[in-house]
Structure 1
Amino acid sequence: MQNTTTSVLNPDNPLYKRRNRFNRLMLTLSTVALVFGLFWLFWIIITLLVKGASALSFTLLTQPTPPPGVEGGLLNAILGSFMMAGMGTLIGTPIGILAGTYLAEFGQRGWLAPATRFLNDVLLSAPSIVIGLFIYAIHVAQFGHYSGWAGSLALAILVIPVVVRSTDNMLQLVPNSLREAAAALGCPQWRIVMFISYRAARSGIITGVLLAVARISGETAPLLFTALNNQFMSLNMNGPLANLPVVIFQYAASPFEDWNRLAWAGAVLITLFVLGINILARTLFRNK
């Protein structure tokens, strides 16, 4: 046995040489793919910082969007984005957590849980513009006007599958021995879920919610069909509401240089916000 092992690990063995060459080839291809992906990532970030950092100012955060040739900021768009993203998160998070709880805790048997997981995966990968068209058809077209509520509903639908998937996965990682120990002490099922499963999976569930918020923060397509935009300062959720993604879309395509600078500045704000949420989700709850 010792001679066989030695012969297999011998550098002169043809099998060892072939596997060593294949290992080096795959490591090289993996490194090239890593460098290729990081190259575009850093190029995007550097471009944003070069073109948008110069437009960052106190006025950007205190003045509403201006007409062409007038100094202004993005205050109304920032507030509108926070309002719709916050409302969408408040609507979608409880639905996603409850659905994920059912899949992990009560859906071990039957066809409903597998079908729900499949449909959730389809919704998770669905283009956001389809969600916008859906809300346009059932809300905007029925009420006859764009509104912040319609935008919040579209964002909520985007939040739900992310939270469902993360909740389902995190609850499945909770050891069954914890549930069995609580059940042996006479604890009812709802208490096991509330005080055992949720506490054990809390960090993963919160991370999923934060990642869902990061996803909806830069969505433009659904808001074009639901909230549209508002050039003026408005906090009325029942009317068109300004938001950063749509303002960036409109200002970046405009022929006015001052609007172009505001579009780059808005892109930097969204990028920094999403980057901050991702860093928070991966560091704050890493060891919890």
Structure 2
Amino acid sequence: MSSKVEAQLDKGKALIGYLPIGFPNFEESVEAAVALVESGVDILELGVPYSDPVMDGLVIQEATQIALAQGFKLPQAIEAVRQITERVSAPVLLMTYFNPVIQYGVDKFAADLAAAGGAGLITPDLIPDEAAEWIAASEKYDLDRVFLAAPSSTDERLRQSVELSRGFVYAVSTMGITGARADVDVAAQTLVERLRAVGAEYVGVGVGISTGEQVAEVLSYGDGAIVGSALVKSLNDGGVAAVALTAQGLAHGKPSAS
């Protein structure tokens, strides 16, 4: 069975856009996600609000806390995927810390996500050697599974992440939490080179990308440029219209052939 994300990446370099579900409210988060695709985003990454978002920067933390304060519940993540995939054809990944999935039931969550048209999960706090239940469920329901790789990872851990990921490997371009930065760390390119050396076919680079120029820089060596905080800030500041404009600017960094 083919991977939805790999099928998209086969077409060319990808802009991957992140927004949290339920911010500023559920309905507007769905509209904003659809607007991203209509504005040049190739793959959607929808964040599942969580009470202890250890990897997220301040902009995303504040947005997810607003969603939680408004009563976000995990079934809404499945419903968001369903509504979005009914309107756009781009692959939709959920980015979630794994405890909520365990509470929901790993097999049930995978089944419901697949039924809603979801492509798979990005799991920032789940390491491959502790992911047997999720790997089994993702295989059963034909879902992508994206593990993270950091500059501090050993070559053996990078190899393990490459072997067990499906879709792409998520290269965290800088040490620390997410957030827009003026420059993309030089560590990103080195990390992608290390991942290629242990067999990675597709690598998405995230954490710190906020301009079309940075998208172009990252896509000169990576397969996907992942943008989060810049989009969330635009949505917060100016609503759906603003986030669409930001996505259009970011999409200018993609190679013209994609």
TM-score range (shorter-chain normalised) is: under 0.3
TM-score, scaled to structure 2: 0.23
**TM-score relative to the length of structure 1:** 0.22
More helix, by proportion? 1
Structure 1 or 2, whichever has the larger Rg, is 1
